[in-house]
Amino acid sequence: MIRVMLVDDHGMVREGLKYYLEVEDDIEVVGEAADGREAAALAGSLKPDVILMDLIMPGTDGVEGTRLCLETSPGSKIVVLTSKAEDDLVLPAVRAGALSYLLKDVSASDLAGAIRGAASGKPTLDPMAASKMMQQVQEDREDREDQEGWTRISPREMEVLRLIARGFGNKKIAEELFISERTVKTHVTHLLEKLDLHDRTQLAIYAINNKLVES
């Protein structure tokens, strides 16, 4: 038997899930909790095979609840079962340790299949949730690349960047910093390469967005 614990702040939802799951010969609902902290305490004593976890709950939400449950019952597999594939929930839930991510419009048979898959370590991702997760991973990667570009900027290049954002041309920058126009052009080229930008306007916007100068 696959021992399942239900975590949802709505009693009617838990009752409905029990009704659908208990008709399955190989699935047994062994416990219920109304928030993440209660779930963690219960998981520590029950050690369920699979935990169906809602994410949006008062008190301790499902992301934190996932983390806490895996602390008290490391062998449990977490299947998120929630109403929406929110941008700010999908990846945090997976990072907290959730194996699968499903929406509540899933069919009873597909839910049972996901529980069986989770029990054997096989993940199931709702297509919309998978799309949101990949989008967030891409955005995180771009953020890291931006940060890497930032850390590679030299102090002199930073001075040039600030002056570009103030509207200075190459000649004026050269006069301000007591360097040649050719050197200014070299710094501008390096800034464009390091920050993966295409022109001086983008450099100015980058400096303003990162509060290097007064907007």
Domain boundaries along the sequence of the chain: 2-135, 152-209
**Secondary structure E strands in the chain:** 2-7, 27-33, 50-53, 77-82, 100-103
Q: Encoding tokens for residue 110? A: 């597909």
Cα–Cα distance measured from residue 145 to residue 122, given in angstroms and rounded to the nearest whole number:
32
Give pLDDT, residue 44: 96
Give pLDDT, residue 139: 54
Question: Which residue type, as a one-letter code, is found at position 185?
Answer: K
Q: What share of the chain is helix, strand, coil (3-state, %, to 5)?
A: 60, 15, 30
Cβ contact 42:18 at 8 Å: no
CATH of domain 152-209: 1.10.10.10
Give pLDDT, residue 195: 83
pLDDT 10s per residue in the chain (215 long)?
999 999 999 999 999 999 999 899 999 999 999 999 999 999 999 999 999 999 999 999 999 999 999 999 999 999 999 887 665 677 788 888 998 889 888 999 999 999 999 999 998 888 776 666 555 555 555 555 555 555 578 888 888 988 988 888 899 999 999 999 999 999 999 888 888 888 888 888 888 777 776 54
Domain 2-135 in CATH 3.40.50.2300? The answer is: yes
pTM score over 0.85: no
Distance, C-alpha 10 to centroid of its chain = 25
